[in-house]
Amino acid sequence: MKIGIAGAGLAGRLCAFLLSKQGHEITVFDPASGPSDPVASGFAAAGMLSHVAELEKGDNNIYNLGVRSLALWKHIVPQLVEPVELHYNGSLMLAHRGDEGAANRLISLLSHKAPADQQPQKISLEQLKIEEPSISGVAHAWALPNEGHIHTRQAMHALYASSANTHWHWQTPVNKLSPQTIFTQEGEHHFDWVFDTRGLGAREVKFPNAHTLSCQNVRGVRGEVLWLQVPTLSLSRPIRLLHPRYCVYLVPRKPDILFIGASEIESEDRSPISVRTTVELLTAAHSVLPEIAEARIIHTETNLRPALIDNFPRIETEQGLSRINGLFRHGWLIAPAIVENALQEMLGEQYSAMS
Ligand SMILES: Cc1cc2nc3c(=O)[nH]c(=O)nc-3n(C[C@H](O)[C@H](O)[C@H](O)COP(=O)(O)OP(=O)(O)OC[C@H]3O[C@@H](n4cnc5c(N)ncnc54)[C@H](O)[C@@H]3O)c2cc1C
């Protein structure tokens, strides 16, 4: 089949990769200048694959999509033509003395919502010192042993490079689309099937009803992140700090990068990271990893998470057109399973992204 994809973000690249494996001929359109131009929100993400921790705000559907996607990433990454860091060595949740209220509430909630074999596991400070000697100053620690993380920039490029039979039209925004047709400044492009994976770019400006749940009724949620270079750091897995006022996570990336994120602000402002967020994130990070005091801030980034009114993902399918949107704050956690579901609606229930 001839497939047209509007949007070369995470969902669009996964569609291209999985459909190209089936032998389809793919054409992708995106306004970015090239495959590494970090326009898509997927580039800014930490790549936490946190199916259990996301139960704080997510529902069972997010959890199940996350579990399926963890298995799918394990299957997809070895097939890519470029290396992608993918780790399944769990994550840690840490709390300072005095912050027990917020921490205990979250641990109770996760313990209530997660299945018996995925419960947060309390670990002693002695054990923490042995496992993660860089961490200090915390009073409580829990492990989520089955969570993972993925190197998002590597994965974005590797998905692009691994999609065979795919024509990439960069600097080409899609102005409009309909079943089997994509409209760009170059004209009309006809396909057997069209995918709308434009994230925030899918917004229909004159949407008739602000309360309508639709892939085109999408808003952006600002996220700001920092990268530190820390040559001495030895941290084997992501940390989430259970703080009463803000949410901070720290993700190690080889060889010596510490990724610190992320704000979550109801705003579509893409301007650089604010002083307030920088201070909050770095103060929190320094409170658990004191050795970052001499680290260098080598990169900051801001992007917008595409969210629908219920903050949950959504697929809309009609003959000749599939829309995928609303991946919000858990796109890396759930995208492989969401795309698999969309392809099942198009190709039939027998389709599996494991094939
Ligand atoms: C700071 C931050 C941290 C995050 N951390 C995590 C995390 O740790 N774990 C996790 O699971 N998720 C995380 N996320 C969420 C995740 O990155 C997103 O859910 C996911 O990237 C959304 O994918 P998408 O393909 O729907 O949209 P995007 O990745 O935004 O892609 C949309 C694409 O459409 C293109 N486009 C826009 N307009 C048009 C047009 N008119 N025509 C053609 N193309 C168009 C854009 O250029 C872009 O390439 C984070 C997000 C942010 C911002």
| Same topology between domain 1-87+148-202+310-355 and domain 91-145+219-307 | no
Q: How far apart are the first and last CA of the chain?
A: 18
Supply the DSSP string of 259-290, one letter for each residue. EEE---BS----SPPPHHHHHHHHHHHHHH-G
120 neighbors 242 (Cβ within 8 angstroms): no
Amino acid at 248: V
Supply the DSSP string of 160-206, one letter for each residue. HHT-TTEEEETT--EEEEETTEEEETTEEEE-SEEEE--GGGG--TT
Atom of ligand 1 nearest to the CA of 175: 41
Ligand 1 centroid to residue 140 C-alpha, Å: 33
3-class state of residue 51 by DSSP: coil
- Per-residue pLDDT tens over the stretch 332-350: 999 999 999 999 999 999 9
Q: What is the mean pLDDT of the chain?
A: 96
Q: Left if phi > 0, otherwise alpha if psi is -120 to 50, otherwise beta: which for 336? A: alpha
Ligand 1 centroid to residue 12 C-alpha, Å: 10
96 neighbors 287 (Cβ within 8 angstroms): yes
- CA torsion through residues 149, 170, 81, 17, sign: positive
- Per-residue pLDDT tens over the stretch 169-198: 999 999 999 999 999 999 999 999 999 999
Find the residues whose C-beta lies inside 6 A of ligand 1.
Answer: 6-12, 29-32, 39-42, 44-48, 173-174, 197-199, 201, 223, 225, 261-262, 303, 305-306, 327-333
Ligand 1 centroid to residue 10 C-alpha, Å: 6
Return the structure tokens found at 76.
């997809």
In the chain, where are the structural domains located? 1-87+148-202+310-355, 91-145+219-307
CATH architecture for residues 1-87+148-202+310-355:
3-Layer(bba) Sandwich (3.50)
Superfamily for domain range 91-145+219-307? D-Amino Acid Oxidase, subunit A, domain 2 (3.30.9.10)
pLDDT in single tens digits along all 355 residues of the chain: 999 999 999 999 999 999 999 999 999 999 999 999 999 999 999 999 999 999 999 999 999 999 999 999 999 999 999 999 999 999 999 999 999 999 999 999 999 999 999 999 999 999 999 999 999 999 999 999 999 999 999 999 999 999 999 999 999 999 999 999 999 999 999 999 999 999 999 998 666 667 889 999 999 999 999 999 999 888 999 999 998 777 899 999 989 999 999 999 999 999 999 999 999 999 999 999 999 999 999 999 999 999 999 999 999 999 999 999 999 999 999 999 999 999 999 999 999 999 8
- Residue of 147, 138, 332 lying closest to 238 (CA atoms): 147
